[in-house]
Chain A
Amino acid sequence: MNDFEFLENDFEFIGDKQDIHTDAVQPSKPFLKDVWERFKSNKGALIGAILIIIIVLLAIVGPLIVPYVFDAVDVSQQSMAPRVPLLENLGFMDGTGGIKEYTGQFADAYHYFGTDQLGRDLWVRVWEGTRISLFVAASAVIIDIFIGMVYGLVSGFFGGVVDNVMQRIQEIINSIPTLVILTLLLLVMTPSLYTIIIALMITGWIGMARITRAQVLKIKEQEFVLASRTLGASDFFIIFKAILPNIFGQLITMSMFSIPNAIFYEAFLAFVGLGIPAPQASLGSLINDGFNTVTTTPYMVVIPVIVLAILMLSFNLMADGLRDALDPTMKEM
């Protein structure tokens, strides 16, 4: 006991000077701020988000900053290689290697991504195409969320026979390969921007429906629903109010994963010749066109492929980060 030095008031009660009834826990952060913090700390997700923003911006302003339009056919500028100011001085993207050279009246022309076989500027076409690919994917996914939610809600809420029938329908649609559905639908519906969206939509809603239904079933079991029902509240209203916040995170994550998927399917359709009809372009149709001359002018296919790859990678990275941020239980330890 000798190694302790005691002070005068050591053996007095602290008494009311300390409030023993407060829980000394870490200050809790608001949910969204917490999510944002976690998201920020995930480098991959952050890079993905930044790349997506850059690509979206380029898709919007890219075509505006050059003096070309996406469907201006000009045979005299056929298959010119990419030429970018500054970079050309480094011997990279200096306009050599194409069919037509940057000479004569085009000595001062710059096609950042070159031109295609019809002499259309690829910079404009790539960003126009990106815009269309993004538009197709985003609209398909938004409609998916909507349909899936309604389907899952109805199926889970009514239960019984309704649920049974709806589940079987869902199972059957799910057991036909997406690829088969997509190709057949587009055979029937002559490809256009909107039919492609519809085709993607038909196969994409199932995941959303499943999440919603599972959540409805879970919430239906909970006691507060029973309690509110005895008080005379409409349970549809209760479930709707209780479900939305619960599946919000999952739906966001799911749609983030679905967007690259939809982009891929769109590209795939274009690649098998069921894409957006010319002269409009999507990333897929650009890749398809460029592929025909892959051995002579590889840039025509390489550039849209890189944009597509970055886009899909970024969305996946961001979705990963988002999932971890919204559901941190999966991480740590």
Chain B
Amino acid sequence: MAERDRILKIRDLKISFKTGNGSFQAIRGVDFDLYKGETIAIVGESGSGKSVTTKAIMGILASNGHIDSGTIDYAWYDENTGERHERDIVQMSKDELQKEIKGRKIAMVFQDPMTSLNPTMTIGKQIMEPMIYHYGKTKEEAYQRALELLNEVGITDAEKRMNNYPHQLSGGMRQRIVIAIALSCDPYVLICDEPTTALDVTIQAKILELIKELQVKKGISVIYITHDLGVVAKVADYVNVMYAGKIVEKGTIDEIFYEPRHPYTWGLLSAMPDLDTDDDELYTIPGSPPNLTQEVVGDAFAPRNQFALNIDLRLDPPMFDVPGSNTHQVASWLMHEKAPKVEMPESLKRRIQRMKKEGAK
């Protein structure tokens, strides 16, 4: 890859929510970049803040959510002049965000296709709506384009489907429709929030392939949010592992899968379902995610970390660069030069060996 073109640059993003029980910090300083045509995955348990991060990028945070600090710089090229623009989404007004960004430049595919389509509106209208709204297309133009989109996402009988209501279609079809809607305004970035969790396993793979295919064809960048490392392995170029509102480890797909450094990533990898696992002592992550309504002192993962250091209770670890790589970073005090050397659990090592072998095949 020659020149990587950065589309999205997120720095020190902090988001808090106000609830009946006071406010809590859901996102506690997130940094990451997205380059043109590439795919990143954000991985973490539910409640780790992965969805919130992407909703902030889309500007569809719930009304009780607030971006406390940070920047989300979004870059694009003017269609006519080819000039490069860069804007901070956080600083944009709601109006601008809605007119310029949402749907047009960044689009989203939601988790559950059963609930993400309007039940009382025909499929056709739902696909045509953003084109008519944003680009002022006539009904006929929009209709033709919608037919094309339906064909692109692999729906047969497109003409007939245009007049269907969502409940008349299967889950997999509905997710294709949602993807068609997302692509209707030719966005640069596609955010997929657990796009396959609610689907049958056989359909999951097809949807992932479809997204990948469309990505290559249209040159868009994709952000996957998922808790499923299996999905990550199939689609991502880069992986961000998120825990309690922070990214704890990031790197290329190979780095995360073959050389994980953070104990939390070890846990995630070990917990991945695997046909060959015959180890008696499977490494699991004990406990449950921290309660973010209370301020976290030190490393949020410490209470669940069997390799926790004393410093973890006092100070939040910064991002350490993994020696020998300019992409791999880990937020753990174990990476500090003075820290005792810790090896990943034996069972995981064996597992990774196996994965490498399979990968090599």
Contact = CB atoms under 8 A, between A and B. Distances in A.
Question: Do A's and B's CB atoms come within 8 Å in the complex?
Answer: yes
A330 interface: no
B336 interface: yes
A9 B339 CA distance: 10
B291 A26 contact: yes
* Contact size range, A: 20 to 34
A25 B286 CA distance: 13
A6 B314 CA distance: 10
B338 A11 contact: yes
Interface of A: 1, 4, 6-7, 9-14, 18, 20-26, 332-333
Specify which of B305, B311, B333, B340 lies most central, judged by the most chain A CB atoms within 10 Å of its CB: B311
A14 B313 contact: yes
B203 interface: no
Query: Chain B contact residues: over half helix, strand or loop, or mixed?
Result: loop
B287 interface: yes
B310 interface: yes
Leading 4 A-B pairs by shortest Cβ distance: A10-B311, A11-B338, A14-B308, A21-B286
B303 A18 contact: yes
Contacts of A23: 287-288
Interface of B: 19-20, 62, 64, 286-288, 290-291, 302-315, 318, 333, 336, 338-340
B37 to A, nearest CB: 35
Given A11-B336, A12-B340, 19 more contacts: A1-B318, A4-B315, A4-B318, A7-B314, A10-B309, A10-B314, A11-B311, A11-B339, A12-B309, A14-B308, A18-B302, A20-B286, A20-B306, A23-B287, A23-B288, A24-B287, A24-B291, A25-B288, A333-B19
Contacts of B286: 20-21
A220 to B, nearest CB: 26
Contacts of A1: 318
Contacts of A13: 307-310, 340
Contacts of B333: 10-11
B20 A6 contact: no
A13 B340 CA distance: 8
Contacts of B20: 332
A13 B313 CA distance: 11
A11 to B, nearest CB: 5
A7 B310 contact: yes
A20 B287 contact: yes
Contacts of B315: 4
A14 B310 contact: yes
A306 to B, nearest CB: 35
Contacts of B62: 333
Specify which of A1, A9, A20, A24 lies most central, judged by the most chain B CB atoms within 10 Å of its CB: A20
Given A6-B338, A10-B338, A11-B338, A21 B287 contact: yes
A28 to B, nearest CB: 13
Contacts of A24: 287-288, 290-291, 303
Contacts of B288: 23-25
